[in-house]
Amino acid sequence: MKKIGIMTTGGDCSGLNTAIYGIVIGAAKRGWATYGILDGTDGLVGAEPNMIRITPDTLPPEQMPVAGSILRNGNVGVTNNFERAVQSGKLPQFTKQLKKNLAAAKLDALILIGGNGSISLAWNTRDIYSDLQLICIPKTIDMDIPLTDRTIGFDTAVSQLTGFCDDLMLTARSHHRWFVVQSMGRNSGALALTSGVACGATAILIPEIKFDIDKLVTHIKNAPTDYGIIMVSEGVRLRGHSGDAATMISRKLTAAGIANRTAFPEHIQRAGRTTPNDRILAISMANAALDAVENNETYVMTALQNGEITTVGLDTVVSSGHPERDPNITGLNISNAMVDDDNPLLIAADNMGIYIGETK
C-alpha cells in the first residue's frame, strides 16, 4: 500500500480543500493511505514530522468548497523557513532536517500544492525529495505559473474581486465618484485584467503595460459617465513615486479635479466559496497527480493545457515564462507567467474602450 503525503504551501486560496479532497478520495479508491503535513515546510523542521492521517471522513463533501486549507500553509512569522535559513547561513542544516523528517515519514510520494515560489523552490532544493516522488499542483490567485492555462484559486478570486467591484459601482454612481481598486496579483496583471473586464472597469492598469497618467486622466474626464472603476494591479509602479499604486494614482486624479476614493479588497480575493470551475480544476489536477504517482513520475507539475490535464517537468516550468531572482533567497530563480501582448482580453478591453495603457 502506497503512503501519500499532501502539503499546501505559500499564500492560501480557494480550492485547496477541494484538491485535498480529490487526492484523499482518489487515493482511498486505489487502496493508498494519505497523510497531511501541517503548516507546509514548517511541519518538517521540528523534532519529527507534524502529520495527520486523512481519510474520506476527514474532509466530507460539504467541506470541499471551503476556502483556505485544513492543513494550513505555514506561519509567515516563524523563524524556521527557507528565507531565514539563507539569511542565517544555515540552509544546509535546514534542508538536512527537512530531508530527515521526510525520510522518517516514510512517504512513497509527496503532492505539493503551491504557487510559483513554492514550486520553483521545490525544484531548486530537489535533493530534499530525492527518496520519494514529488508531484506539484499549481495554485495561486495570481495566475503567474508558466505552462498551465489555469491555476487553482484564480477563478474564485476573479469572482470575489468582480463582486466587490459590482457593489462599489452602485455607491460610485450615487456619489458621482470614481473608485481606484487595487487588486492582488504580485507582478502579474492577470487578476486585475480579468476582473476589470468582467466588472466593466473604465481603466485597467497592469505591470506588463506602461501607461501615461495624463492620458489616463483625459480618458476618465472623457468617459461617458462620471463614475466607475479604475482597476490597478498591485504590481503597478509610478516612476518617481513610492507607496501602493492605488494611492499614488488616486492622488493624481484628485489633483486633476476628479472625485475618487481608493478601495483595497485585500484578502477577500483569497477567500470565498470555491467556484465550480475551480472545484473541477482542483479535482482534475488531484486525479492527474495520483495518476503521476501511479506512473512513477517525479519532479513534475500538473497543468491545464488546451483543455486537457497533463504533467510537465519542474525543470521546464522553472525555466519557462519570465524567471526572476528571488529577492530573499540567494541563487533562487522564480518562474513567472505574465500577461502577453496578444492576450485576447487585452484586445477585448481595448475594443470596449477601456484604457489599458500605451499598447501601441
- Give the model confidence (pLDDT) of 199-230 as tens digits: 999 999 999 999 999 999 999 999 999 999 99
Asked if residue 107 lies in contact with residue 4, where contact means CB atoms within 8 angstroms, the answer is: yes
- To the query of whether residue 108 is one of the catalytic residues in this protein, the response is no
Residue 335 has pLDDT above 90, yes or no: no
Residue 237 has pLDDT above 60, yes or no: yes
Residue 79 has pLDDT above 70, yes or no: no
The domain covering 156-270+341-351 belongs, at the CATH homologous superfamily level, to Phosphofructokinase domain (3.40.50.460)
In the DSSP assignment, the letter for residue 79 is S
- What's the whole-model pTM score? 0.96
Domains 3-153+274-320 and 156-270+341-351 share a fold: yes
Closest CA to 36 of 63, 75, 7: 7
Please identify which of the residues 12, 39, 42, 142 carries the catalytic annotation.
142
Q: What is the mean pLDDT of the chain?
A: 93
- In sequence order, the 6+-apart residues with CB closer than 8 A to the CB of 248 are 238, 241
- Using left for φ > 0, alpha for ψ between -120 and 50, and beta otherwise, residue 357 falls in left
Q: pLDDT value at position 77? A: 55
CATH fold of 3-153+274-320 reads Rossmann fold (3.40.50)
Domain range summary for the chain, segments of one domain joined by +: 3-153+274-320, 156-270+341-351
- Give the model confidence (pLDDT) of 155-195 as tens digits: 999 999 999 999 999 999 999 999 999 999 999 999 999 99
Q: How far apart are the C-alpha atoms of 265 and 229, rounded to whole Å?
A: 13
Closest CA to 251 of 203, 215, 202, 217: 217
Q: pLDDT value at position 260? A: 98
